[in-house]
Structure 1
């Protein structure tokens, strides 16, 4: 391959990476993202359209950053190119999505299972269920482009394996990508669930207008995903964003990570259900808490406000250091709404340093409990060979 050909292929891949999966984009926006000239982008987009990789949409997109600029033709990846599978392995359940390369969800399945202590059964379940979804829609295997997996644990960047000791207690020796790849006959890419939830909300959800934000996932576990300067930030080894293991009660309970008084021991699902049991009985569950919140139960509203203030306490130094535009709150607990969000907002307003000049806006996630699985689909898409 000649140098000119090699450069052209690199530029083609860069244009496709800028256009794939997410809100429709434009030639001008692709040029801004890639640093390529408008003429180069125009030529490559024309080739990708001719090859059936990109499509020009009927809709028009306002010219970004150009006052009074005419709306431009919108571009997107051709949805006919194939399908992707996204899997979320939480502590106590799984979610499986089948989606097109345009992000449209074609099928979805959620199931409660003891993920933490049943790695073999869990992987067999998600693999067989995902392949059943494919069969039900009569999608040929050759049209499947890959699998993304969101895991409730830090994932080492260099190996896509879980950090040691793993936050999923019985998964220390489990190579998720290798096992699922062999079972499903597809490339598999693994990432931390809060990171992938952030990716989904950035590409398709509440943070679509922000290149600097913090995504907070509040479910069985607690985590955060960081998007900084338009890039997902995972830290040196992949463990950035472990907000659930920030100490908020110095003499508090021992956490499963080995530390004391972590945020997760205060606002994790088990902690909240245990607290609620004192007033609502020992059988009260996390699902009951969500239901009671929707009913306006006063005790639950108080509990959620306290939880929001604890989250805000952990978040305030993060926001002082990083100065994000937004905080997006997702996960199962985010479904409870305003008492939780108000607690976070009030605490950030009080504790974020004035030197930042502004307190970040706090918004609920737009994608609900499916954000992490959708982020897994986006990750699989990023590695898929679309041409």
Structure 2
């Protein structure tokens, strides 16, 4: 029977070395909050020393150990920049999967969370989870045959997720009471981490989008439904049960239109894509969202009014968020973000009407990553959950 390697005790030299290695790997994987990553994701050893607070000699030794283990690679630099250190391409890949009510998207990325391949396909409305997972698995197999180099998968779902389970059939039919993590791991044969899609959008915009450099922000995803991901002190905030950010079901008018959750006058009932299409069904009965956006930009006053109404209600909901959390930025993503200023201008007006003066001018900006935000976030989640370990000798 092989001898078990003894665990390092806290404070031991081996434990300290492992902790220092992890600090360097964390910077190589995620960068420095508030600072842009280089195009190649590389850092000089001097930059690693400043970012980690470790002595240059310590960083040099760690880089040498990580390089010998195959986790990092170095390139000779030129001029004042010096040699560049980055995670090795051979250290493995991660995968992001983003499910919506009518789509599935799959992306492959490296351990910094950078996407190297992606694909998006339509799903039938009301699809079952087995069908959806099977389609995602076939997409992944085409992108990485055999999955040999894939380490972890991050998966986003458009519904509240508690202990990997969706409890509401009204919000995401076909997935209710399913242990999404267990079902996905069975289908993919790989470790899977499940998260709400708005949370993943918040993570992506915080790391690689318009939210970079803000330690507190809110990402609001508006598509078939409405949800928010909250960043506080550079970390996702989940709440006690993991369902923080369900702003789509804030009640704006308890005598308002019936929402799919069973309540009346929810924010979602006024601001979702379905509501805008319903308002325009008389004039543009076969139109999808892009057609309505095009009509509004061409001067159709009814289409413009539909987005203005949605935006004013959105601002009302955002006022509750900024009054409570005081984020430095609100980012609007999802399908409705394609309306741009048609929606956002009136959202800012609604926010100013209902928020305290001290937070009424909180910036409200469109997502930089667009419809890809949740997918990018799923890849980042998988990269974060992939433990990089250097075996002691």
**TM bucket by the smaller chain?**
0.7 to 0.9
Report the secondary structure of 2:347's partner residue.
helix
In the TM superposition, what whole-angstrom CA distance separates every residue of 1:95-146 from its partner, at most 9, and x where no partner exists? 11122223332222222213544222111111111211223xxxx6221112
Is the CA contact (8 Å cut-off) linking 2:105 and 2:118 kept in structure 1? yes
Equivalent residue, structure 1, for 2:378 = 376
Is the CA contact (8 Å cut-off) linking 2:97 and 2:154 kept in structure 1? yes
Quickly say closer, same or farther: Cα 1:370–1:30, change in 2 above 3 A. Answer: same
Out of 163, 166, 169, the position equivalent to 1:162 is 166
Alpha-carbon distance in structure 1 between the residues aligned to 2:210 and 2:22 = 27
Equivalent residue, structure 2, for 1:238 = 242
Quickly say closer, same or farther: Cα 1:251–1:29, change in 2 above 3 A. Answer: farther
Is the CA contact (8 Å cut-off) linking 1:19 and 1:30 kept in structure 2? no
Which aligned pairs between 1:30-109 and structure 2 lie closer than 5 A? 30-31=51-52, 43-55=61-73, 76-109=86-119
Q: State the Cα distance separating 1:153 from its structure 2 match.
A: 0.6
Is the CA contact (8 Å cut-off) linking 1:181 and 1:188 kept in structure 2? yes
Is the CA contact (8 Å cut-off) linking 1:290 and 1:333 kept in structure 2? no
Instruction: After superposing the two structures, state which structure 1 stretch, 117-126 or 187-196, moved more.
Output: 117-126
Quickly say closer, same or farther: Cα 1:53–1:166, change in 2 above 3 A. Answer: farther
Equivalent residue, structure 2, for 1:211 = 215
Quickly say closer, same or farther: Cα 1:290–1:55, change in 2 above 3 A. Answer: farther
Alpha-carbon distance in structure 2 between the residues aligned to 1:29 and 1:301 = 51
Report the secondary structure of 1:225's partner residue.
strand
Report the secondary structure of 1:111's partner residue.
strand
Quickly say closer, same or farther: Cα 1:344–1:57, change in 2 above 3 A. Answer: farther
Q: State the Cα distance separating 1:14 from its structure 2 match.
A: 4.0
Q: State the Cα distance separating 1:17 from its structure 2 match.
A: 2.9
Out of 115, 118, 143, the position equivalent to 1:133 is 143
In the TM superposition, what whole-angstrom CA distance separates every residue of 1:323-370 from its partner, at most 9, and x where no partner exists? 1111111111111111111112222233321244x6221211111101
Quickly say closer, same or farther: Cα 1:221–1:21, change in 2 above 3 A. Answer: same
In the TM superposition, what whole-angstrom CA distance separates every residue of 1:284-327 from its partner, at most 9, and x where no partner exists? 33343344345453322221122111111001121022111111
Equivalent residue, structure 1, for 2:259 = 255
Is the CA contact (8 Å cut-off) linking 1:53 and 1:81 kept in structure 2? yes
Q: State the Cα distance separating 1:200 from its structure 2 match.
A: 0.6
Out of 266, 273, 278, the position equivalent to 2:270 is 266
Equivalent residue, structure 1, for 2:28 = 19
Q: State the Cα distance separating 1:59 from its structure 2 match.
A: 8.8
What TM-score does the superposition give when structure 1 sets the normalisation length? 0.85
Q: State the Cα distance separating 1:21 from its structure 2 match.
A: 3.9
Gaps of at least 5 residues in structure 2 are: 1-6, 38-42
Larger Rg: 2
Is the CA contact (8 Å cut-off) linking 1:91 and 1:221 kept in structure 2? no
Report the secondary structure of 2:230's partner residue.
strand
Alpha-carbon distance in structure 2 between the residues aligned to 1:266 and 1:74 = 51
Alpha-carbon distance in structure 1 between the residues aligned to 2:199 and 2:366 = 16
In the TM superposition, what whole-angstrom CA distance separates every residue of 1:63-102 from its partner, at most 9, and x where no partner exists? xxxxxxx989875433342222211111122111122223
Is the CA contact (8 Å cut-off) linking 2:224 and 2:273 kept in structure 1? yes
Is the CA contact (8 Å cut-off) linking 1:21 and 1:77 kept in structure 2? no
Quickly say closer, same or farther: Cα 1:80–1:291, change in 2 above 3 A. Answer: farther
In the TM superposition, what whole-angstrom CA distance separates every residue of 1:361-386 from its partner, at most 9, and x where no partner exists? 12111111011011111111111133
Alpha-carbon distance in structure 2 between the residues aligned to 1:58 and 1:367 = 32
Out of 99, 120, 130, the position equivalent to 2:130 is 120
RMSD: 2.7
Alpha-carbon distance in structure 2 between the residues aligned to 1:368 and 1:30 = 30
Alpha-carbon distance in structure 2 between the residues aligned to 1:226 and 1:173 = 25
Equivalent residue, structure 1, for 2:351 = 348
Equivalent residue, structure 1, for 2:340 = 337
Q: State the Cα distance separating 1:274 from its structure 2 match.
A: 0.8
Aligned length: 367
